[in-house]
Every structure is written in structure tokens, then in C-alpha cells.
Homo-oligomer: A and B are copies of this chain.
């Protein structure tokens, strides 16, 4: 066999020890928050039947699904004439399974398949990779983690308020301070389309408005006109686009603006209730920003819509979600309301990196390395090593006889903060020399003293 230089499939990544330590720091923070709020973990298989996945993400999504070739003789159903009909025709004959595209559809499938055993409301979180055959580019990968929390089987707005609290807790733990949780309500968007005289067109309105941040109001107007919105309608939108002030001020304005739309007023009332529940929790509205043009372009939201933006960083949108009323309808289970949101782990990683917010000790793994000069030192070191580990300290011994410089170099590269060095003097005194690699200080101590000092550091 010829030896080839191995490569990674494009759009995929290895996560080495330092990246894993940083990722785990983020994920553990998120998981502990989910658990604090009573969410339970779920994992679903990486492969789903294509019948489950296809048609759930639009035509473009279907194209981006990774399909898994049937095992065995995958050609057995394919005939010569099939080839001429093209890939779309051959696909169902060679592939029955695909890789998970998101965590939402597998969750819906799980709820439907287990509806008789589950206790509702069902609060689940799920942290697993998903795969999309997107064109890879900076910050966009073909395999990436999603990190979702959803509660289904209740339409209580307490859930919306708790999502705000969870986001604030995660960000506080991660020491992220300058961010906004944008919140809106789909019913408000529906109401707006009604009162500007374009009822039923809130879908198109959302698609256009969603681009406001990127292309500006002028271009959005053009797009609305192209989509058949009247000049009058576009003009009526202006106060919405210009809306500013506190959450309460905006809500007050909308009560007037939407006074002719029952649906719109319902959206306003829901949002008011979420803020009221926040107050009942004894919590304020810090970071919560009612953004009346927030749409997220996702057509399946029916109530609240969330998006979290970190300010003053290159890619700020790190989390999003909303309420949906028909998650499981596509699998034949109607009337299951739910609300969920998702943390973008890759983006939070990039943000923390950009703002230099990863705690320094997070990438340390081993607390103490033991070095030695000869076999006697090694053997003495093995006992010390066992003592350090029994005390709960992550420790290792340099496994080979090597120059002291090489041993220290190993500790240094692995970001080990302390080296315990064993020579004949240490053995004679039944002690060890502890060296702090940051300060360079070193001194002889007993094992017990070393344990105390490392633990206290």
C-alpha cells in the first residue's frame, strides 16, 4: 500500500487538548445552567432515516443533507436507465439514511415516538454535532455542535422568562458583559402586516426586515416594493423601523399602533407578560431588548422570538430561538406547543477568544509533573505520584530517563504549573523539591506540604 499524507475532509476539524479544554469550559457552563433549570439531557443517533429528515428544511436543506450509502451491494436496486434520470432519481435507491442536520427534527421524532412514556411538560437539552454539506468558509463548518434546550407540552410564558434567565446566567458565568438579548413576538409581526394593509404577508415582511441590519432600510424598502408591498404600506412601516426607547415605551407605542389587530395586541400582551414574570422572579430587564423588527427568517416561530448579540465583536449573534406551535405535527402529533433556543458554541468560543475571556487555568490539565535523575529517583517519585493523585491532584511522572531540561520542557509545553523534582538529597530528607514554573521559585517540602500548596494555588 502506498503511504499518503493523511488529510481531513474539508469543513471538518480536530479539537486538540487546548481547544477541548476551552470548549468544555463553555459546554459545562451551559450544561450546569440547563440542569439548574430542570432540563434533562437527550442524545439521538447521528444517522436518521432520510424519510425523517427530508422535506423538513426546505429544498436547500435537502441538498445540504449528508446521505449515507446503504451498506452491502448499494447498487442492487439501480438499473442502467436510472443513471440517465439523474442523481435525484438514483438517491432513494442507494441511500436510506442521512446525518442529522439539526437537533430539532430528531427531538420532534423522539417526542412522537415516546409520547406515551414521556411526562409533559418535557424539558430536554441536547448537545451533539450536526452535519451540513455547506460550502466551507471562515467560521462555517460541515460538522459543528449544536446546543439546544426546549420545553414542549406547555404554552406557559414562564418558559420564555426562564430562557432569558438562563441566557443571563450562562453569560454571567462566562464573564460576557456587553450583549443584548433581542426579543420579539411573531404575533407582533403578523399584526404589523395587518395594520399596514398587507395581511397574511408577514412571512415576506419578515424575510425582508430580517436583512435590515445587513442592507439598511433603503434596500429593505426596495425589496418590499419588489415583493408587491404598496408604497402606503412601506410608508406605514417607518415608525416601526424608527422605534426606540425602553421596552415599556416601545410596548406602549405598539398598543396604539396595533390597536386594530387582535393578533398583534396578543403578541404585545404576551411580551408584557414575559417581562412581568421576570419581575415576579425578582429580576430586572438587564440585557433584554424588545426588538420589533427581529424576525430571524424562521417561518415556524409562532410566539416569542429570541436572538442574542454580543456587542463590539466580529460575529455577534451567538444564540437564538423561539416558540413554535407545531413541532411534531409533521410526524402526526398535533397541538404540541414548545419553546426552545440554541447556543452557538463555535461562535461563543470565537467571542471569548476575541475578548480574551478564557480563564488562564482552564487549559491546564496536569497540576504537577514529577521529574527525576535516576532509577532511585524514579521509584521514589512513583510513590509521591500516587500520593498526589490520592489527594485528587492531576499528576504525572515523566516516563523515560531523560535530561532534566527535556523533562522541564515537557511540563512547560503542557502548561503544567508545578514540577516536583527528586534527587538524592530529597530522598535522604524524605522530601521533594517543588518548583513553581511561573515564578521560578523552588523549595524543599514534604508531600503533605506540596499537596496543600498546590491545592491552595
Contacts and interface: CB of A to CB of B under 8 A. Distances in A.
Contact of A45 (B114, B119, B143, B378): B143
Contacts of A45: 8-9, 12-14, 143
A7 B52 CA distance: 8
A247 B41 CA distance: 45
A42 B17 contact: yes
A24 B127 CA distance: 13
A55 B382 contact: no
Contact of A399 (B17, B73, B154): B154
Interface in A1-56: 1, 3-9, 12-17, 20-21, 24, 35-49, 51-52, 55
A66 B75 contact: no
Given A71-B133, A280-B379, 20 more contacts: A3-B330, A6-B49, A6-B52, A6-B331, A9-B49, A13-B45, A14-B44, A20-B40, A36-B394, A39-B365, A69-B69, A74-B87, A74-B91, A76-B87, A83-B83, A119-B409, A151-B399, A156-B400, A281-B382, A282-B383
A16 B114 contact: yes
B3 A382 contact: no
A93 B283 CA distance: 59
Nearest to A329: B3
A436 to B, nearest CB: 18
Contacts of A46: 12, 46, 99, 129, 131, 143
A405 B129 CA distance: 39
Report copies per complex.
2
Interface of A: 1, 3-9, 12-17, 20-21, 24, 35-49, 51-52, 55, 63-64, 66-69, 71-76, 78, 80, 83, 86-87, 90-91, 94-97, 99, 109-110, 112-114, 119, 121, 123-124, 129, 131, 133, 142-143, 151, 154, 156, 158-159, 165, 277, 280-283, 330-332, 365-366, 369, 378-379, 382-383, 385-386, 389, 392-397, 399-400, 409-410, 413-414
Contacts of A21: 40-41
Contacts of A17: 40-42, 124
Contacts of A20: 40-43
Nearest to A5: B332
A7 B69 contact: no
A159 B399 contact: yes
A46 B457 CA distance: 38
A372 to B, nearest CB: 11
Contact of A119 (B69, B142, B414): B414
B143 A331 contact: no
Contacts of A385: 281
